[in-house]
Structure 1
Amino acid sequence: MSGALPLIVTRPEPGNSATMARATALGFDARAMPLFAARALPWTAPTPQDFDAMLLTSAQAVRLAGQQLTRLAPLPAYAVGSATADAAKAAGLTVVRTGNADAQRLLDGMTSGKPARILWLCGRERSEFDPRGSALEPVACYVVDAVEPPPAWAQQVSAPAVLLAHSARAAQRIADLVGPQRAHLTLVAISPAAAAAAGEGWGELAAAAAPTDASMLALAHALCHKGGK
């Protein structure tokens, strides 16, 4: 992408490398700047017979759950995004629905089918959702810790660039690190909620049409070219 703005990828591994590979294949001038690192937490899988379904909002939950996850295989899984669904299938879970919007919309679809008891395999820090009268029990199996920005971070964000925020927490952290002088930067968020968490003052702030890398990169492609003119 000659003349286009650089693309800064901030998500933790292994997602950072996956996004970098996709972006590079598409011709982006992509820069890996992870601001978080994920690690497993000790946890004990509950009895699957106590639940009607399982909600998965991140592929990290599947990747870091460990051997305990096999105990939950009898539960039908509802996954947010194709990456989470693919990770769940690879782990031997039965994915009955993949949400192409946000987690609340997928949860709304679940509760309309009346699964009264839902197990939410998630991270320690998580968003709040309205279970619409169903019982939603979060079980944390991983944590995503903020880490110091890479040494080149300050230089990268001092010039025009497009940044990717793969969560509301990431959007908030990017905003905090960049500070109020951000009119030269463009932020592409994975969802409207993530975009809202980024605050105001950006040169461009946009939310992807779907919570996927493909949707974010399609949006970033247009913005990288627009800003590079």
Structure 2
Amino acid sequence: MSRPLLILRPEPGASRTAQAAAALGLAVDCYPLFLTTPIPWTGPEPHFVDAVMFTSANGARLAGPQLDRYRHLPAYAVGEVTAEAVRAAGFAPVHVGTRGVQELAAMIADRGHQWVLHISGRDIRTFDPGDLRVTSASVYASVESGHAADFAPHLVPGGVILIHSPRAGQRLADLVPPPVRATLHIAAISPAALEAAGGGWASGHAAARPDDAALLALAAGLCE
């Protein structure tokens, strides 16, 4: 019997990951630790930037009509899922980076851009922009959802937990006491997300690439 898989990411990502996991034959449960909600934002005048960078699909989905002001600019996205959301928002072309925001920033610079608008959530991980001049616009917030007592029944001994961000890793660490941690396995989308979850787990692993496909491939191996 395979180990159960627990998905912590907010919707709509949780359902998308759950569907892909079920297609791999995994037993799936979802308990989102955050809810995403749009927040008011103001960006620079479009003529002050020459490219737009997205590090989250939620940025493209929740930015609202103000994002239309920048649709004529080349767009860059971390991962194919984010790129799909950016295309759905009306951007073309959309260039995709597969190894995180640092690689994407280097790609943007290599293509000759200098002034970049970064569409993101309110809580973002810092990165080195190099020679880029980056203006960040926080267009959504992730609000904590759930509590320890309600979360506890979802923590099945021997189970595997997916962590999609460092913030989710930190929240998981806050909710799960050490004795319970020792019975659970962690599959994280990045080394930073794994580090944020802290120690004491039965095992902890980071995906080979920071995308859902690599994360689910890792989880499938752990669930066997």
| TM-score between the two structures when normalised by the length of structure 1 | 0.92
SS of alignment partner, residue 23 of structure 1: helix
Q: 1:208 to 1:95 in 2, by over 3 A?
A: farther
Aligned to 1:74: 72
SS of alignment partner, residue 218 of structure 2: helix
In 2, Cα distance between equivalents of 1:161 and 1:153: 14
Aligned to 1:145: 143
Letter aligned with residue 6 of structure 2: I
Structure 1 residue corresponding to 2:55, chosen from 40, 54, 57: 57
In 2, Cα distance between equivalents of 1:39 and 1:89: 21
CA shift at 1:70, angstroms?
0.9
User: Contact (CA 8 Å) 1:123, 1:144: kept in 2 or not?
Assistant: yes
Q: 1:34 to 1:149 in 2, by over 3 A?
A: farther
Aligned to 2:109: 111
| 1:174-185 → structure 2 map (5 Å cutoff) | 174-181=172-179, 182-185=181-184
Aligned to 1:97: 95
Aligned to 2:152: 154
User: Contact (CA 8 Å) 1:88, 1:95: kept in 2 or not?
Assistant: no
Paired-residue identity, %: 43
Aligned to 1:42: 40
Q: Does the alignment pair 1:221 with 2:220?
A: yes
Letter aligned with residue 67 of structure 1: P
SS of alignment partner, residue 78 of structure 1: strand
User: Contact (CA 8 Å) 1:33, 1:149: kept in 2 or not?
Assistant: no
Letter aligned with residue 196 of structure 1: E
Letter aligned with residue 20 of structure 1: A
CA shift at 1:179, angstroms?
2.7
CA shift at 1:72, angstroms?
0.9
Which segment is superposed worse, 86-95 or 51-60?
A: 86-95
User: Contact (CA 8 Å) 1:8, 1:164: kept in 2 or not?
Assistant: yes
Q: Does the alignment pair 1:9 with 2:7?
A: yes
Q: 1:95 to 1:197 in 2, by over 3 A?
A: farther
In 1, Cα distance between equivalents of 2:80 and 2:148: 29
CA shift at 1:26, angstroms?
1.7
Letter aligned with residue 140 of structure 1: S
CA shift at 1:155, angstroms?
2.0
Q: 1:158 to 1:28 in 2, by over 3 A?
A: closer
User: Contact (CA 8 Å) 2:148, 2:175: kept in 1 or not?
Assistant: no
CA shift at 1:14, angstroms?
0.6
Letter aligned with residue 173 of structure 1: R
SS of alignment partner, residue 162 of structure 2: strand
> Which runs of no fewer than 5 residues in structure 1 stay unpaired?
none
SS of alignment partner, residue 130 of structure 2: coil
User: Contact (CA 8 Å) 1:80, 1:103: kept in 2 or not?
Assistant: yes
Aligned length: 223
CA shift at 1:64, angstroms?
0.5
Letter aligned with residue 83 of structure 1: V
Which segment is superposed worse, 177-186 or 140-149?
A: 177-186
User: Contact (CA 8 Å) 2:87, 2:94: kept in 1 or not?
Assistant: no
SS of alignment partner, residue 178 of structure 2: coil
Q: 1:191 to 1:197 in 2, by over 3 A?
A: same
Which segment is superposed worse, 77-86 or 126-135?
A: 126-135
Q: Deviations over 1:6-30 (max 9, x none)?
A: 1000000111111111112221110
